[in-house]
Amino acid sequence: MPKRKVAALEKVDADLVSLQYKIRRDPKSYAQEFYDQWLAYDAQRQIFISSPSSASSEDNKKFHDLVDLVAHVADLYPDVTAPYFDHLKELLTQHHAVLNPDLREKVVGSLSLLRRKDVIDSTSLLTTLFPILISTPSKSLRSLLYTKIVSDLRESNSKATNHKLNRTIQTVLHNLVTSDRTSTKGMWACRITRELWRRQIWTDARPCDVMKEACLSDNEKVVVGGVRFFLGGDKEREEMEDDSSDEEIDIKKVKHQGTINKKTKKRQKAMEKAMEKIKKQERKKHAPHPLNFSALHLIHDPQGFAEQLFQKHLQNTKCKFSLDNKLLVLQLVTRLVGLHKLTIISLYPWFTKYLTPKQPSVTSFLASLAQATHNHVPPDAIEPLVVKIANEFVSEASAAEVASAGINSIREVALRQPLCMSETLLQDLVMYQKSKDKGVVMAAKGLQSLYREVYPELLQKKFRGKEATMGLKSGEVKRLKFGEEQVESGIEGIELLEKYKEEQKLKKLAEKGEDADGDAKMKDDDDDEDGFNSDEWEVASNDSDSSTGWINVEHSDDEDEGPAAKKQRRDSSTAPDLISDEAMAAAAEANRISKLAMTTILTPADLAKLAELRREAQLDKMTGTVSKRRQELIAKHIEDGVTADDIELPAQIGKKSTKEERVAMAKDGKPAREEHKSTQAIRKSKKEAEGKSSTNKEKARKKNFLMTVGKARAKHKRSLVDTKKRLTAHIARSKSGGRRRNGM
Amino acid sequence: MGSSNKKKKEKKKDFNKAKLKVGKAKAKAANFTDTSFKSKSIVVNQHTLAALDGVDLVGLFKQHLNQAINSKSDKLRQEALVQLTKDLSSKPIFNPVGVPNLLTKLLPLITDSVANVRTNFLKLLRALPPSDVAPHVEKILMYIRGGMTHLSTEIRSDTLSVLDWLIDVCPDETVSCPGGWLKTMNSFSSMLGWNPSVASTLSVKGWTSATKTSLNKVSKKNGEAQAKQITTLAKFLEAGFRPETPLPYDEQRYWDSIYRMPTTPNPFAYLNLWGAQRDEDGEMYPDRISRQQVFERKWRAAIKTGVMGAKQEGGVIGRAASVLDKVLRTAEEGGKKVVEEQKIEEVEEAEA
C-alpha cells in the first residue's frame, strides 16, 4: 500500500478559517463539526468568565477565534446558537473594562455581524452598545462603538426610514441629555445626532429637540456641541450633499476601455457597476430636491429657548464659560432673535458692557448685535448701543480699522432697524467719507447709501442724492414709522412682468413685419405658423386679448380662415400699441395690471422671469454703476447671520497683501509642483497617470536606436529605382487608406 | 586596456568633488545607514543574557514557568516543562509558586500545537500531588472540554489522556463538580458523533443521512482514536456510577463537620451562592443517584445506539465498546437497585 499523503490536508483542516468556509458552503454536512466548535467555544467562554481579568494571552486568542467562527455561521444554526447573543452581550456589558482590546473589538464586530445577518434586530444591538459607549473609559472602544452605532443606524434607514427605531434612539438620547445635565455624557448624544443630521437620516424636529436640550445643559462641552450644531449643522449637511455628488465616472472613458481591454468577467462586472452608478446619479439628479428644513426653523418654542439660553449662559454671572464659547452661545441667541423676530429686551442692555474696542473679539459682538436687530425691536433699546458704538469706535483719533468696523456695524444694525439713529449722529457719521483711510470712507459711504434708500429724510439735503430727493418730492418715499409693516397687495412686481411681455411682443411683431415684407407669400404662412406657436409657449396663453382689451378673436375663426385671419389679428394688436399714449391714466393702468394675474395662469418660466425682473429693478434703482459688493449685499438674504468677517471687511479695503498671500494666489489653480520639473514633463506624467496612451510620434522618438539603425543604413544604400518604387507605393497606399495590405 | 581605465577611474572617484544637481537628491555618504525601515517584531537570539548558576532557584523556576508558556520555540517550551517536572518530582517537592498558580499558567498548554509539549505537560501533571489537584478539578475540566472538541484529532486524543489522569487522581470531584457530569458528557457525545441534539437541530428528514463526515474519516489511526475515546468514556461513566461506600461512623468527624471550620475550599459550592446562575448542563450532580437520573433521561438512548453501532464495527472499537456496554449494564442494575431501595424507603415512610 502506498504511503498516505493526506497530512497536508489534515493540517489545512485544523484551522478555523477553512472550517468556516466549509460550513458556509454546506451547513448540513458540517453540523457535527460546528457543534464541536460550539462546545469548544462554550468551554473557552467559561474559562474566560471564571477569571476575566487574568486570562492568558493564549486563552484570549483561542476565544477570539472561536467567537469569530460562531459569529460568521450563527445564522446557519439558529437553534444551537440561540444563546450566543446573550453571551456576547453579557461579556461586553460586564467585562468591557478588563477585556483584551483585540477580543473586545472582535466581540463588538461579532455583534454587528449578527445584526447584518439579521440574527438580532437593531434595537437590541443599539441598546447593548449604547450604554457601553457612554460608560467605557477606553477611547478606542468608544470610537469603535460610535462608528458601529452610526453605521447601523444608517444601514437600517437606508431602504426606508425606520421611524420606530429612530424614535427609540432619539428618546434614549433625549433622556441621556436631560437626565444628568452636569455630565459630559451628553456629548455622545450631540455627536450622534449631528452625524445623522449631516447624513440626512434624521431631518425632523425630534433631533432638534435633543440638541435644544443639549444647549441648555450645564456642561460647557455639551452646550458647545449643541450650539455648534444649530450654527453649522445645516451648512455641513449641504456640503455633504455636494460632496456625495462630486465623484463622477467618466462614461466615455469606461466605454472606451471596454472596447480596448481584454474582455473578462471581472471587467464586465466593473463596467456594469459603473453604468448602474451613472444611472443612479442621473435619477438622483432628476429627483425632486428633498425638502429639508433647517434646524433653526424646526425648534419648538424659539422664544422660550432663546430666553432660557440667554439667561442661563450669558446673563448669569455665575456662568464660567470661556469667551469663545460664550460668543458661540451669543451667536445662537442672536441668530434666533433675528430669524424668528423674537423680543428679548434684556439682551440689548447686556451688550453695553462689551462694546469697547479693547474687548477681545469685539467684532463678533458687533456682528451678534446686528444679528439680533430686526424691525420689531424698539429703537429705544438699540439707540444707546449705536451711540455707544459711535462714541467708542468712531472718532478722528481712533485707528482706521476700529472706525471702519464701528461704522460698518452701525450700518448693519441700521439695515435692519433704520429708526435706531438720530439725525445728528447720522450726519456726523456720514461726514467720515472725507476721511483719509479708504476703509472708513467705504463704510461711511455704505451708511449713506443705505439711508438714501431706506430713510432719506434723516440725511442732510446735500447727501440725499438725486433719486431720493425726487422720491421725497413726489411722495414716493414715505416716512418710516416703528412697527409698520409693508403689506404687499397682489403680486409684487407683476407690473414689471407685464411691461416685459409687451416689449417682447412688440419686438416679435417688428421682426415678423420685416419677414413678411421681404419673403414670398408661401413662406409667410409657415413663418406665421411658427411665430404663433412660439408666442404661445413663451408667454401666457391669450396675450393679445389682455393687452388690448377690446379685440376678441375666437380660435374657431382662426382655424377656418387661416393666414388671412392671423394677418388681421396681428394688425389689430399692433396698431393700438404703436399709437398708444405714453402717459396713460394711472387708474386704467392699475386696472389692466390686475387683469394679468386674474386672466392668465403664470407658468414657472413666468415666475422665474418675474423674480429676475424684480432683482433688476432693484438694481436699477441705485444710481450709477453698481459695485460688486453692493450686488452681493442685495443678494444676501436678511435672515442670514452676520459674521465678524462682515464687520471687519471694510478695514481690509486698500490694504496691501503680503508676499505670501500673493504667492498663494498665483499658485492657486496651477498644477502641483513637488519637484523641479518642466511644464511639459508635468503634463506628460499627468497624461500617463490618467491612463492615456502615447502618440505614434512619441513612440517613434522613444524607439531604441539600435532597432532603427539597420533600416536607416539600408535606406541609404538603396538604388534610385528602388527609392522610386517605394515612393510610388507610399503614395498609392496613402490614397487607398494608408494601410499596408498583402503585397503592398 | 578597459579594465585598467576602469580601475583608474575608480581610484579617482574618491577625490572628485561631488556635483550637486538641482532637483536631484544629494548622494548618500558611503557610511550611510538606512534607518527608515519599520519592524513589528524583533528577533532575539538568546532568551537570557545572565548566566544562571543555579543560585536563584526560585527565579529559575519562575523563568522556566514563563518559558513554558511564552516561548515561541517549541523546543524551549518542552525543555522548560521537563525542568519543571523535575523540580516538582524532587523530594521534597520544590514548587515556589504553588499549584493553583502553576495550573492557571500552564493549563492552556493542553491544546498546544506541538505534540511533544503536550506529552511533557501530561508528565508534569502526573507529577503533581493528587490532593493539591482536587480543588482545581473544575478549572482543569473546562480546559479538557475545550480540548476534547478541538479541530485537531491529535490534540483531542492527548486531551483524553489528561482526562484519564484526572479521573485516576480524583474521580469523585471530576464527576461531581459543576458542569463536570453533563457538559463532559456533551463533549464526549459530540466527539464520538453520538449526539442526538445535533441531528435534531438540523432536522434532517428523509431516508438517508450522512453518518460521520469529513474530518474524522474512518482509518486505522482514527479507529484507534475512537477506541480510546470509548474507553475513556467507559472510565468516566464508571467513575460516575461507582456506588458510594458510606463512610464508617466517626464521632469526631461528625462533630467537626458541624462545628469546625471546613478544610476544603468552597465547601458550599453546591449552593452556588456567588457564581452565575447555572443551567441544567452546568449544574453540579454531587451524588450517584442524581447523576444516574440525569443520564437516564438525557443520554442513555443515544449512548446505547452508539454502542450498538460501535460493537458491530468490531476490532479495537468493538472491544472498547463492549467494555463500555458492560459499564452501562452494571450501572443499569445498580440504578434499578437504587430505585427499588428508594421505593422501599418511600413505602416505609408512607407506612410510618
Assigned C-alpha cell, A449:
447709501
CB B237, CB B326: distance < 8 Å: no
Task: Specify the residue for cell string 444647549.
Answer: A215
Residue B148 lies in a domain: yes
Residue B264 lies in a domain: no
Round to whole Å and give the CA distance between A96 and A84.
17
Nearest to A19 among B105, B151, B212 (CB): B151
CB contact under 8 A, B150 and A676: no
User: Touching check for B276 and chain A: CB below 8 Å?
Assistant: yes
Same domain, B107 and B146: no
Is A169's pLDDT higher than 80?
yes
Handedness of CA A100, A101, A104, A109 (dihedral sign): negative
- Give me the pLDDT at residue A576, please: 43
pLDDT band, very low/low/confident/very high, at A307 (cuts 50, 70, 90): very high
Residue B14 lies in a domain: no
Q: B-chain residues within 8 Å CB-CB of A676?
A: 22-23
Assigned C-alpha cell, A65:
477565534
Count of alpha carbons within 13 Å of A205, Cβ hemisphere only? 6
Round to whole Å and give the CA distance between A41 and B183.
13
Same domain, B158 and B220: yes
Residues comprising chain A, all counted: 744
Nearest 5°: CA angle at A342, between A636 and A641? 25
Q: Nearest-CA distance from B282 to chain A in Å?
A: 10
Assigned C-alpha cell, A331:
451667536
Chain B interface test: which of A4, A39, A676 (most B C-beta within 10 Å): A39
Mean confidence (pLDDT) of chain A = 80
CB A302, CB A230: distance < 8 Å: no
Residues near A565 by beta carbon (within 8 Å), at least 6 away in sequence: A553, A557, A558
CB A338, CB A416: distance < 8 Å: yes
Is A525's pLDDT higher than 60?
no
Nearest to A35 among B22, B105, B198 (CB): B198
CB A306, CB A344: distance < 8 Å: yes
3-class secondary structure, A499? helix
Assigned C-alpha cell, A62:
483561542
Same domain, B147 and B230: yes
Chain B interface test: which of A36, A47, A65, A76 (most B C-beta within 10 Å): A36
Is A508's pLDDT higher than 50?
yes
3-state secondary structure string across A392-410: HHCCCCCCHHHHHHHHHHH
**pLDDT tens digits, A258-273:** 788 888 888 888 888 8
Nearest to A40 among B105, B149, B193 (CB): B149
CB B141, CB B179: distance < 8 Å: yes
Q: B-chain residues within 8 Å CB-CB of A39?
A: 145, 148-149, 186-187, 190
Nearest to B142 among A28, A31, A47 (CB): A47
Same domain, B149 and B166: yes
A418-441: average pLDDT: 90
At how many degrees (to 10) do helices B288-298 and B300-313 cross?
70
CB A642, CB A371: distance < 8 Å: yes
Nearest to A40 among B146, B214, B215 (CB): B146
A222-240: average pLDDT: 87
Of chain B, the end-to-end C-alpha distance in Å amounts to 127
Same domain, B183 and B231: yes
Same domain, B191 and B318: yes
Round to whole Å and give the CA distance between A740 and B200.
76
User: Touching check for B215 and chain A: CB below 8 Å?
Assistant: yes
Q: Nearest-CA distance from A35 to chain B in Å?
A: 7
Same domain, B113 and B163: no
3-state secondary structure string across B59-82: HHHHHHHHHHHHCCCHHHHHHHHH
Q: Which of A9-23, A153-167, A383-397, A644-658 has the lowest mean pLDDT?
A: A9-23
CB contact under 8 A, B146 and A58: no
Domain-ending residue, one of B84, B102, B128: B128
Cα dihedral A697, A702, A704, A705 in deg (nearest 10): 70
CB A130, CB A149: distance < 8 Å: yes
**pLDDT tens digits, A311-336:** 999 998 888 899 999 999 999 999 99
Round to whole Å and give the CA distance between A282 and A160.
20
Chain A interface test: which of B149, B155, B220 (most A C-beta within 10 Å): B149
Residue B291 lies in a domain: yes
User: Touching check for B218 and chain A: CB below 8 Å?
Assistant: no
CB A482, CB A378: distance < 8 Å: yes
Provide the H-helix boundaries in A287-319: 295-298, 302-309
User: Touching check for B198 and chain A: CB below 8 Å?
Assistant: yes
Residue B188 lies in a domain: yes
A261-286: average pLDDT: 84
Tell me: cis bond preceding B248? Omega within 30 of 0 counts: no
Is A344's pLDDT higher than 60?
yes
Round to whole Å and give the CA distance between B81 and B123.
9
How many domains does chain B fold into?
A: 2
**pLDDT tens digits, A615-642:** 777 766 554 444 554 555 555 555 567 8
Residues near B219 by beta carbon (within 8 Å), at least 6 away in sequence: A4
Could you say which residues of chain B have pLDDT below 50? Answer: 203-218
Residue scoring higher pLDDT (A401 or A493) = A401
Domain-ending residue, one of B79, B110, B128: B128
Round to whole Å and give the CA distance between A472 and A464.
10
Nearest to B213 among A29, A56, A77 (CB): A29
pLDDT exceeding 70 applies to what percent of chain A?
Answer: 81
Same domain, B222 and B333: yes
Domain housing B102: 56-128
CB contact under 8 A, B198 and A14: no
CB contact under 8 A, B139 and A50: yes
Q: Reduced to 3 DSSP states, what percent helix, strand and coil does chain B have, rounded to the nearest 5?
A: 65, 0, 35
Q: Nearest-CA distance from A122 to chain B in Å?
A: 26
Residues near A295 by beta carbon (within 8 Å), at least 6 away in sequence: A197, A207, A208, A211, A229, A230, A233, A234
Residue B292 lies in a domain: yes
Task: Specify the residue for cell string 472706525.
Answer: A403
- Give me the pLDDT at residue A207, please: 92
CB B294, CB B311: distance < 8 Å: no
Of chain A, the end-to-end C-alpha distance in Å amounts to 69
Q: B-chain residues within 8 Å CB-CB of A677?
A: 23
Residue type present at position B300 = R
Nearest 5°: CA angle at A398, between A397 and A401? 145
At how many degrees (to 10) do helices B137-148 and B99-106 cross?
10
Q: Which residue of B lies nearest to A81 if distances are taken between CA atoms?
A: B201
Q: Maximum distance among all alpha carbons in chain A?
A: 122
Is A304's pLDDT higher than 90?
yes
- Give me the pLDDT at residue A288, please: 67
- Give me the pLDDT at residue A613, please: 84
3-state secondary structure string across A331-370: HHHHHHHHHHCCCCCCHHHHHHHHCCCCCCCHHHHHHHHH
Domain-ending residue, one of B68, B94, B128: B128
Determine the number of helices (DSSP H) and then strands (DSSP E) in chain B.
Answer: 16, 0
Assigned C-alpha cell, A239:
456640503
Q: B-chain residues within 8 Å CB-CB of A15?
A: 151
Round to whole Å and give the CA distance between B274 and B296.
30
CB A28, CB B202: distance < 8 Å: yes
Assigned C-alpha cell, A263:
474582455
CB B317, CB B226: distance < 8 Å: yes
Q: B-chain residues within 8 Å CB-CB of A42?
A: 145, 183
Task: Specify the residue for cell string 522548560.
Answer: B80
Q: Nearest-CA distance from A109 to chain B in Å?
A: 23
CB contact under 8 A, B201 and A50: no
CB A446, CB A649: distance < 8 Å: no
Same domain, B298 and B221: yes
CB contact under 8 A, B202 and A28: yes
Assigned C-alpha cell, A259:
472596447
Round to whole Å and give the CA distance between A455 and A375.
14
Residues near B199 by beta carbon (within 8 Å), at least 6 away in sequence: B209
Same domain, B188 and B234: yes
User: Touching check for B202 and chain A: CB below 8 Å?
Assistant: yes
Using beta carbons and an 8 Å cutoff, which residues of A are at the interface with B?
Answer: 4, 10, 13-16, 19, 22, 28-33, 35-37, 39-40, 42-44, 46-47, 49-51, 54, 56, 58-59, 62, 77, 79-80, 675-677
Same domain, B186 and B72: no
- Give me the pLDDT at residue A364, please: 92
Round to whole Å and give the CA distance between A346 and A368.
15
Q: Which residue of A lies nearest to B205 if distances are taken between CA atoms?
A: A28
Same domain, B348 and B303: yes
Residues near A204 by beta carbon (within 8 Å), at least 6 away in sequence: A298
**pLDDT tens digits, A677-727:** 788 888 888 888 887 888 888 888 889 999 989 988 998 899 999 999 999
Round to whole Å and give the CA distance between A594 and A591.
5
- Give me the pLDDT at residue A248, please: 66
Is A588's pLDDT higher than 70?
no
Residue B12 lies in a domain: no
Residue type present at position B215 = L
Residue B24 lies in a domain: no
Q: B-chain residues within 8 Å CB-CB of A13?
A: 151, 214-215
User: Touching check for B22 and chain A: CB below 8 Å?
Assistant: yes
